Homo-oligomer: A and B are copies of this chain.
C-alpha cells in the first residue's frame, strides 16, 4: 500500500496507549449500539473489510466483532470528531444484536431513582449465541 494511503490514519488523535474510542450507531434505527476501542490496525482493517474490527482491551488483541456470534457490523460510514479522539461508525448490525448479553445494544441499564435498571429485553440467550 502506498504510504500516502495512511495519511487519514495519522489524522486520528491516538491516545497514549494507541487507541481511539469508537461509537457504533445503527444506521437505520439510529440506536447507539456500543462503545469500543480501536488501534491503528483495527481502524485500517475496518475500512478494508467494511466490517467493524475493534481492539479488545481485555484480551489485548484485534476483535472482529461477530467472529464468534455471527453478529457482525457492516460499516456504512466512518466519522471522526472535531478533536480527532473519537470515531463514530454508522453500521448495519447483523442479527439485530450488538451486546454479548443478547440484547439489541449495550446501553440497556437506565438510571431510575438512583438505580440502574435493565430496560431492554434479551433477544437471544447468550448460551445460544456463543455455543461451540
Binding site for B on A (CB under 8 A): 5, 7-8, 11, 21, 23, 25, 30-32, 34-35, 47, 77-83, 85-86, 88, 99-101, 103, 106-111, 114-116
Assembled-state Cα–Cα distance A116/B20 (Å): 16
Chain B nearest CB from A97 CB (Å) reads: 12
Can you report 23 A-B residue pairs in the complex whose CB atoms are below 8 A from each other? A5-B114, A7-B114, A8-B111, A21-B35, A23-B32, A30-B31, A32-B32, A32-B88, A34-B86, A35-B81, A35-B85, A47-B111, A79-B107, A79-B108, A79-B110, A79-B111, A80-B107, A80-B111, A81-B107, A81-B109, A82-B109, A83-B106, A86-B107
**CB closest chain-B residue, reference A80:** B109
